[in-house]
Structure 1
Amino acid sequence: MFLALLLSTSFSYDVFLSFRGSDTRYGFTGNLYNALSDRGIHTFIDEEELQRGDEIRPALVEAIKQSRMAILVFSKNYASSSFCLDELVKIMECVKAKGRLIFPIFYDVDPCHVRHQSGSYGEALAMHEERFTSSKENLKENMERLQKWKMALNQAADVSGKHYKLGNEYEHEFIGKIVKEISNKINRTPLHVADYPVGLESRVQTVKSLLEFESDTGVHIVGIYGIGGMGKTTLARAVYNSIADQFKGLCFLDDVRENATKHGLIHLQEMLLSEIVGEKDIKIGSVSKGISIIKHRLQRKKILLILDDVDKLEQLRATVGGPNWFGSGSRVIVTTRDKHLLASHGVDRKYEVEDLNEEESLELLCWNAFKDDKVDPCYKDISSQAVAYASGLPLALEVVGSLLFGKGIKEWESALEQYKKIPNKRIQDILKVSYNALEEDQQKIFLDIACCLKGYELAEVEDILCAHYGVCMKYGIGVLVDKSLIKIKNGRVTLHELIEVMGKEIDRQESPKELGKHRRLWFHKDIIQVLAENTGTSEIEIISLDFPLFEEDEEAYVEWDGEAFKKMENLKTLIIRNSHFSKGPTHLPNSLRVLEWWTYPLQDLPTDFHSNKLAICKLPRSCFTSLELSGISKKFMNLTVLNFDGTECLTQIPDISSLQNLVKLTFECCENLVAIHDSVGFLDKLKILSAFGCGKLMSFPPIKLISLEQLDLSSCSSLESFPEILGKMENITQLELKYTPLKEFPFSFRNLARLRDLVLVDCGNVQLPISIVMLPELAQIFALGCKGLLLPKQDKDEEEVSSMSSNVNCLCLSGCNLSDEYFPMVLAWFSNVKELELSCNNFTFLPECIKECHSLILLNLDNCEHLQEIRGIPPNLEYFSAGNCKSLSFCCTAMLLNQELHETGNTMFCLPGTRSPEWFEQQSIGPSLSFWFRNKFPVMDLCFVIGPMGKDSILFRPIMTINGNTMETQLTEKRCCLDFRALDYHILIIGTKYMKFGECLDKPLTKNEWNHVVVSIGIEPTPKDVIVKQTGLHVIKPESSMDDVQFTNPYKQPSFKEKQRLVDIVDCHRQFMQQQTTLVSLKPHVRQGGESFSLLPPQACKNNMNWDSNSTGITSTSSVQGYEIALQNLRLDMGVLQFVQQRKRLAILGLSQQRRMASLDLQQRRGREMVSLLSSPSLELMVSWQRRCITSVQGLQEQHLPSTIKQNFEGCNGIYEAKVSEMVECNSNDGNDNDRTSSPVEQLPMAKEDRVPSKKYQHVSNMAWDPMELEYLVHIQKINLSQTTQTL
C-alpha cells in the first residue's frame, strides 16, 4: 500500500534512491537509476558514499524532502549501515509529515526479515546494539536511535512493493516493471489539498478505515458530512491522494451542487465517464441513457469516485445509483451538508467532520496570520480570543488569520469585536448556503433556535415551538439536525458558534436600525432598551431575556413602567429568567402562547389577560397562592404545561379539573405544600407529574392517569405510602423513588402493567408488594441503601400470587442490610434473574440453591465483608465479583478459580488473592505480558493480580496492543469495566470472548504472518499507589491451536552469545546432576515413630522472603532469556536458604541444651524444626524449576541446539523422580503402624492455603525423615545454589 497524502506538487526530484552502496551501487541500483533517467524521471542518487560519515548530511535531508517519492532498495547488508538506517528514518518522517510516496524493493531479501528484523537484518541490528552498549557513550540517545530504526524498517516493509529473488527472472525485466509502475505514479497528478493542512492525518485514517480500500470485495460508499467550511472537500482530496494508486479508474467531481444547477445532471455524467474512461467529448442524450452507459462501461472496472458537495438525491441517483454500477473493490466518497441525503440513498458508512481542537486551531490561525506554526508571544492572548471566535471552523481560521496578517494588536481587538456583532461576509455566505436550502417554516424555527432557544432541552424546544406555531415541529427540527445546522448533545439543542452568529445576523438584517421591529429579541441590553423606552411594536414575536450569570445584580435589574407589552400585539413567546423587575406588568398581550417568568413580581396575572391560546404557563419561584392558582386553572383551559416549582406560598393544589388538556404538571420543591386535590389524579392527558422535594406532603390522592409516563415523588420526606392506582396505567415504564421513606406499596401497584424499571434509593423500611410478581414487563429493580428493605409478605388471600415468579432479570439489592435468611426468599421470588447485585450486605454464605438459577450470568458481591462461604455456583455464570470480601474462605476461592469454570473464555471474575492460578501457563511479573499469534486471534483467559489502592474507586480495562496499534477494548454490555476500590490484593480473570475488540479480530489479520501482542491493563484515573503485581495468560486449547501461538519472537533466532550462555547453564546443571547422584544413594535410616511432616513451605518463610512457587513459571516455548529469569529467581531464593540456615543453627543450639531428653523425643523435635523451616522452599523450587526446564528444552528443538542439553536435563529429572519414588516406597512399608501420632504440621501456625498440601507434593506429605539426612539435603542444596549463582 502506498502512503500518498500528497499536499504539494512542487518537487526538485521525482525519485530519491536509498540503497546500500557496497551491495547494489554498481549492479542493480546503478541499472535502475539509468532506466529511470532514460524514462525522463528525475532521480536523486547519492554519489558521495565514500565520504559518508556516521551522520546524515543536511544536503541529503533536503534532497529527501524535495523528492516526490523514495525507492528503498533493501539488500542483504542494508541494515548493517547506520547511515542507511538514518536515511530511512528521515524518509519515513517525510512519509508521515508530508505524505511522500515510498516504494520498497526487496532485493534478494525476504520481506519478513525486514519487517520483523530477523535474519541478516536481525544480526545487523544486534551488532549495532552491542556497539552502543559497549561504548556506553550517549547510550540513551543511541538506544532511542535503534528503536527508530526498527520502527522505520517495520513501517517500510508494510508498504506494498516488489520482491526480487535471484534466479527467478531477468534483472532487466524486473527493472522494466518497476520503471513502468513508477512512471504511472509520477505522471498521476495529485490534487491540491491545502496550503497548510492541519489535523488531517487522523481524519484521513478514519475515512480510510470506513472505506476498507485494501479489500477487493464489494463496493463501499462513504459519506462525509458537516457544515460548510468545516473541511469536507479538503479531507476528501487528501483521502483521494492517499489511496488513488490502488484503483484503475479515478474521478473527482468538484462542486456537484453548483455544476448540476448550472449545467444539469447530464453534464455530471459526461464528466464522470470522461475522467474514468479517458475519452474526450463523450455525449449523452438523457439522464436515463447516461445511467445505462455508466453501468455498462464501469461495472467491471475498479474505480475511485468522489462526489463533492452533493445537495440533492437526484444527483446521487444519476451518478452512483447502486453498488452494482461499478466493479468489485470500487470505492465512492460523497461529501454533503445533509446527513439525511446519505441515509435516503442507503449510505450507512458516514463520517461527520469534527471541529479542529484548540491546538490545531491555533496552528492554522498562526500559519495564516504570522506565516509560522507558532504564535507570536505578544499576540498570545488575542490569538486565543480569535481561536475561541472561530470555534474550530477551518474556514473562519483561514479567513480571520489572512485578514489580520500584519495587523497590530489593537486592530485585532477591533476586528474581533466587529465580527462578533456582524460576521465576515465570506464566512457568512458559505454558511448561509445550508440556510437557503431550507423551507420557509424550517428557516423560521432555525432562527428561533439560533436566537432564543440554544441550550434548551430538546423536549422543551419541541413544546415551545409547538405552542408558538400551533403545530408539531419535530420534523422541522430533524431537518435542521440532518443539515448540520443544529446538534442534539446530551438531550439539549446546540449549534456551532458561527452558525448561531449567522442566524442572529439574518434576523438583524430584517430591521438593522430599529430594535422594536425585530421579530426576535434575545440580547439582554436590547430588551432592556425596548422595555425601558417602550419602543416595542407588533413585529416582535419572541422575547427571551436571560441575563448572563456573571452580570452584577444591578445590571440584571430592569427599571420600567410596566406598560411596554401593550404595543406588542403579536408577542407569542415571552421567556424571562435570571432577572429582577422594578414592578410587575400592567398588561400582557392576549396573543401569548408561551409565558415563562421566573420570580414573577406580582401575586396575580393582569386582570385583562385572557389568552385562550396560552399553552405553556411557567411561573416558578413566584408569590402565587392556592387561590391565584385556582383562578389560572379556570382562565386558561387550553394549558398543556403548568409549572409552579419552588413556590413557597403554595400550601395546596386546588381543583384543576378544568385543565383537561394538561400534559405536564410540576410543583417541585414547594416546601409548604401539604395537600393535593383529588382532581390531579384524573387528568386523562397528563404525561408528566412531579412533586419532587415537597417535604411536608404526607399523602397523595388516588390516581387514574391513563396517559402518565413519568411520576416523581422523590425527596418527599413525609410521604409514607404510595398512592392507590385506580385503573390500568400502561404508559408509565419507569418509576424512581429516592429519599422518600415509604413503608409499603398498595396491592393496586399491579395496575402499572407496563412498568419496566423500579428504582428505590434510601427509602428506609420499605416493603416490596407481593403484586410485584404480577407485572409482566418489570425487568429491573434497583434498591440502593434501603436499610430496612422487606421482601414481599404473603397474605392468606394471596396464595395464588405467591406461587408465581417475577420476570425481573436485573435485581440490585445493594446496601440493603440483607442477612442469610433473605437469600432463599430472593431466589424464590426472582428465579429468572440474570443479573444479581448484592454488594455491601451482611450475609455470611451463598446457599446451595443458587445452583438452580440457570439464567444467572452476573453476580456482584463486592464489599460483603462477612461473606465466608459459597456453597454453589450458577451453571451459566459469566461475571462474578467478590471485591473486598475479606472473610471468604480459601476453599471457596479455589473453587471459583477452578480452570473448568473459565474454559469458555467468556468469563470475568474478581476475588481476593495474591497470585495467579497455576493453570495460567504464561505468567510475568508486572502489568504486561506479550505473545505472538498468526491467523485468527486466539481465545484465551487473562489474569491480573492487582494490589491495594487509595481511597477512590478505579476503573480497570484490559488493553491489547497488536503490532504496535492499541486496540480499544470494550467489555460487553453485562459490565463496562471493573469499578471498585481494592483494599487488598485481588485476582482479575477476563476471557477474550467477554471483551469486545471489534470486527478486526474475528478474522485473520494477515494470513500466516505472526502478529505481536502486548497485553496490559489500563487504570483510570491513574493512581500512584495501584500495583499490578502479576499478569497471566491461558490459551483455551479446544478453540485455539498452540501451533498458532508463541511466547517468544518467532522471527528471532538466538545469537551466538545467547547460545553460549545456554551452554554455560547446561554445564552448571551437569555438575548439579553429579551431586544429586550422591544424594540418591542416601537411605532414610532413622524413622520418627509414625510422625509425618508436610513439605509445604512454612508461612513465615513465605511472608518474610516473598517466596512464590509460581514465580519461576516458564512455558514450553521459553527462550534463553526465560532460563536466565528462572536462575535469577533461584539467586533470590538464596536469601531463603540463608534464613533457613540461621534458624537451623538456633534449633541445634536449643537441642544441645536438651540432651538429657529421651533420644526419640530429641529426634522428633529436630525433624519437626528442620522440615518446617529448612527444606521446603528450596526443594520444591528446584523440583518445579528443573521440570519446567525440561519442558522448555523440548520447545527449543527447532533451534538445532545440542541434543546433550535435553539428555542432561532429563537426567536431573530422573534423579528427583527416583528419590521421590524411593521415599514413597519406604514410607508405605510403615503404613501398618497403628501407633502413628498426629502430624506436627497440624500444630504449626499456618495460613489457610497451607493447610492442604499442593497437589504436586501431596504424595510425599506423610514421609518420615532422618534429621541427619535433612541436614545433608540442606547442605547439598546450598552448594547447588552457590554454583548456580556463580555461573550467572
Structure 2
Amino acid sequence: MEGMEHKGGRYLHDVLKPSTLARNQINRNKHFSKEIHFHNPVLIEDFLKPLLSNASSSQRAFTSAIAVCSWKYEVFLSFRGEDTRRGFTDYLYKQLDWRGIRTFRDDPDLQRGADINPELLTAIEQSRFAIIVLSTNYASSSWCLRELTHIVQSMKEKERIFPIFYDVDPSDVRHQRGSFGTALINHERNCGEDREEVLEWRNALKKVADLAGWNSKDYRYDTELIKKIVDAVWDKVHPSFSLLDSSEILVGLDIKLKEIDLLLDTNANDARFVGIWGMGGMGKTTLARLVYETISHNFEGSSFLANVREVYATHGLVPLQKQLLSNILREKNIQVYDAYSGLTMIKRCLCNKKVLLVLDDVDQSDQLEMLIREKDCFGLGSRIIITTRDEHLFVEHGIEKVYKVMPLTQDEALYLFSRKAFRKDDLEEDYLELSKNFINYAGGLPLALKTLGSFLYKRSRDEWKSALDKLKQAPDRKIFQMLKISYDGLEEMQKKIFLDVACFHKFYDKEEVIEILDSCGFVGTRIVIHVLIEKSLLSISNTCLSIHDLIQEMAWEIVRQESFDEPGGRSRLWLHSDIIHVLTNNTGTETIEGIVLRLHEFEAAHWNPEAFTKMCKLRLLKINNLRLSLGPKYLPNSLRILEWSWYPSKCLPPSFQPVELAELRMQHSKIDHLWNGIKYMVKLKSIDLSYSENLTRTPDFTGTQNLERLSLPSEVELESLETFDLSGCSKVKKIPEFVGEMKNFSKLSLNFTAVEQMPSSNIRSMASLKELDMSGISMRDASSGLVPVKNIELPRSWHSFFSFGLLPRRNPHPVSLVLASLKDLRFLKRLNLNDCNLCEGAIPEDIGLLSSLEELNLDGNHFVSLPASISGLSNLRSITLKNCKRLQKLPSLPSNGPLSIFVNTDNCTSLKIFPDPTPMCNSEIPRSFYFDIIIPGSEIPEWFNNQSVGDSVIETLPSDSNSKWVGFAFCALFAPAQEISATATKHNSISFRCLYDGFVGPGYQFTIDDVASDHLWLILLSRRHFFWKPRQRPETYWREKCHDHKLRIHFEARSCTGEKTWAKVKKCGVRALFEKTRKSSTEQ
C-alpha cells in the first residue's frame, strides 16, 4: 500500500492485441472475402470499439481506453501550498506538463475563503485523474480537506486517485495520528466547523490512505519519485489507442508491431533511425502515431512533427525546428533565426538526451538533413521514426531499418468497409454484390475504403449504383488528391515516364518497357523507373512493371484533365472509344504523344486517311487487330515507335521520313515493300515484317546501319530481289529463309552483322549469287547448313619451304562450324569470310568448284590449313589470310589463272609451309606472282646467301639464258625505334624498291599496325615482276636492257606522317630462286 508498482518499458506488441471476439468476427466473414479479387496485405481502422461493446469487463476497459476523451483536464493536482508549492509540487507540475499531460493547479493568488471556490470544484469534476500530495500540514487546511472530500466523491473509481505521502507516514494519515490527528482535533474544536463535515474529512483521508500510492521515504531523491509518478499517470492518461481521434486501430496489429518492435529495439543503447514507407493513403501516419504514443513515456523528451511536407512547402524548415525543440525541451519561446542555427541548436541541446522523434510525411532530403542530420545529434537510446512515400530518402540518408506498409488483406478490407458503410460487423445482403465492386476498386487501400464506405453510409442501392458508375469515369476527389501528392513531387520527365507506364505499359516486362521508353527519346529511363518504384508509384511483380489500380486511375484522370471534352487534346490515348473518335473525326492535335489501341478480337473500322496530319508530336503508335479499308496518307515524322499489325497499305507513305524511328513492327501487314530508295534512319533498331505474305522486296538498308533485329516472313519468296545488304547492322542476328528460284539475286552482304547461322535452304536458293560478304561474322550456332566439329586436332609440325625454325601454336578452338556446300554458287565472284570463326575443316573441299571466284578473303580465322582444291580456282586474283594465327600450311595456288595473284599472310605467325612458287613463276607462263609475310624474328635465315648490314643489298641479275630462274626472295630485319612506344606505331609502313642502272624496278609497301620487337619481312617475287613493259615481250626487254646488270634493293620504314623514324632496318638479304633451289629447299 505504501508504494505503487508501475509497469514500464513494455513492448509494442504486448500493448495491443485484437480480442478473440474480433478475430472470430473476421473469420465469420471469410466466406465473403474469398470472392474479392485484389492482392497485397495492412492497415485497418475503426472497428474494435463497437466490436467489444458486449465483451468482458477487461474488454470494456479496453474499449474505454480508445474512446474519444471528453475531459478538460487529465490531472487535478491537490496540495498544501505552504508545504510544497515552491518545491516538490512545482517540479511535479512541470514534469506532467512537459510530458503533455494537461494538469490543473490552483492559482496561488486565488482568493481564499471559508468555502472552496466553485472554480476548483468544476476543475475537479472536469479532471480525469487526481494527484493528492499529502504533506505534513495538508490536514491543517480546511480548503485542502474540502478539495479532498470532493475528489473522493467525484472520483469513486479507485484507479482515478493517486495519493503521494510526502514526508508523512501513510498509517498516520489512515489512523489520523501525528500532524493529521492534531489538525483534525483543532478543526473539531473550532466552533465554526461542522462536526459532520469533519467526519467526512476523516473518512476521505482514510479512503485515500487505503489506495495504492507512493511514499517519498522510499526514494532517495524527489526526482526519482516524480519520474515514477509521471510514468504511472502517463500510462493511465495515454493508453495505446488514445491518440486515434477517429477511433482508428489496426487489424493484425500484433504482427505489425512485432516487426516494428524488432526494428526499434528500444532496449538497445544506441541512437537509431527507423523508416516507415508506403504509398499514399496506406496508414503510415496512423501507425507512426500509435508507436509514438505507446513508447514516448520511455524517453526524456518526444516530438511528433506532423505533415512535414506541407509545413516545409509553405513555411520552410525553421517552424519545424522550433516545434521540435519546443516539444522536447518544453520551452514555448525558443528563438530560431534560420535553418542552420536551428540545426546547431538541435545538435547542442539534444546530443545528450534520450528522445523520441517522429517526422511524418517527409518528401525532401533537405528535411532529413536539417532536422535530424545524423545519429550523433541525439543521445544514446534515442529513436527517430520517419514516414515517407519515397524509399530513396532512406537510402540517401543511410537508413537501413525500414518497415514497408502494405495494402490491406481481403479480410481486413472487408471489415473496414463494413464498419464504415453499415456501422456494423456484417454486410447487408441487399448490398453484397455492390460491396464487392467497391472493395475491389479500393484495392486494399485504407483511405479509399474509409472514404467510400463513409460516403455510402445510409444511401440507397440506386445511389450506390450511381456512385459506382461515376467511379468508372473519374476517381473520388479526396482519393485522387491524396494520391496525386506523389505525382506532384516528380520532375517533368519523371511525370512523362510515369504517365506512359500507367497508360500504355502496365504488366509489361521491365526491360522491355525501358527499351521502349529509351526509344521514345527519354533519357535515364532506368533510373527514373527505379525512382518511381521508390516513391511507391510503381512496383515490380515477376520482372514486370505493376501499378496499383487507384494509382493508375489517378494517372488516367491527370491525362483526362488535359482536355476534358475532346480526347484529341490529350497527350495520350488508350481507350478504344477515344481513339476511334479522334481518328474518325480527325480531331487530333499536336498535343498527342502516344496512341495505343489493343483489341483482343478483330474489328473493322473506317478512319479518316488524313487523321494523323496534325499529330506532329506523336512518338508512339501501336495499333493491333484492326482492319481498315484504307491506309493513312500521312504518318508523323516524329514517330519513334511504329507498331501496326494488319497495316492496310502496300507501303509506307512516301512523305514518311522518320529520322528518329527506332522500332518498326508491321506483322500480318499488306506491305509489298517498305519504301523506295534510301531512307536515313540511323536510330532504327528493329524491323518486324513477319507474316507479311505480300512482301516482294526488301528496302535499301544503307541508311539503317544500326539495325539490330530483322524479322521477315518465315519463308520469303522474292523473285525480283537482286541485293540483300545488311552491311554494318551489327546487332542483326537472324536472316530469313529464302525459298523459290531467285534468278536475279546477285549480292548478299552480311558483313559485321551478328548473324549466327545461315538457313539451310539459302545457299541452294542463291545459285545466281555473285558476291557473298560474311566478314566479321562469328557463327556459333549449328543448323542444318552448318555442321559442328568438336575437338579439332591440329596437325603436327611440318617441314617448311623456308626453315625459319618457328614452333606451331596449339590452341584449338573447342567448337567450330563447317560451311555448307558452296558448289551451287558457280557465279560467285567475291567471297568475304573474314573473322567468321572458321576452324580446321570449316571450309568445304568443293570451294575449288567456284570457277568464277576472283577474290577470297579469309582474314582472322582459326583454321590450320586450307583445302587443296583452292588450286583449282582458275580466276582467283586475290587471297588474303591476314591474322590467321593458327595457319601452318598454304596449299598450291592456281597455276593457270590471271596474270597476277595476290597472297597476303600478314601476321600468320604459325605459318611454316609455303606454296611452291615455281609453277606461278615459270617463264613460259605469262604470270606475275607476289607473296609476302611479316613474322617475329631476330635473324635473317641462312638460306639467304646474300646478306648485308643496313637497309640495302646488291644482287647480280641472272643471265637470260638461265631458264630455271623463277624469281627473287627478299628479306629485311627491322625493329621499332626505342624512343617510339608500341602504341605509336599504328598505321606505319615498311617498303622496298629495286633499282638497276638508274631504272626503277618493282617495289612494294606493307602497312604495319603494331610491332614491339624485332620482325622479319619476307617477299617472294616472280621474274615477271622485273623488266617487263607493256606491249613488249618480257624476254625481249630482258635481252635488251637488263642482262648481267647489278640490282640494288633498298628497304625503308616510314611513319604514318611520312617520317623515317618509327623503325630501323638492321639487315637485309636476297636470293635468286632457281628450280634447283626449290628442290633443295624442299629436301631440307
TM-score by length of 1: 0.41
Q: Which has the higher helix share?
A: 1
Q: Which has the larger radius of gyration?
A: 2
Q: Which has the higher contact order (CA 8 A, sep 6+)?
A: 2
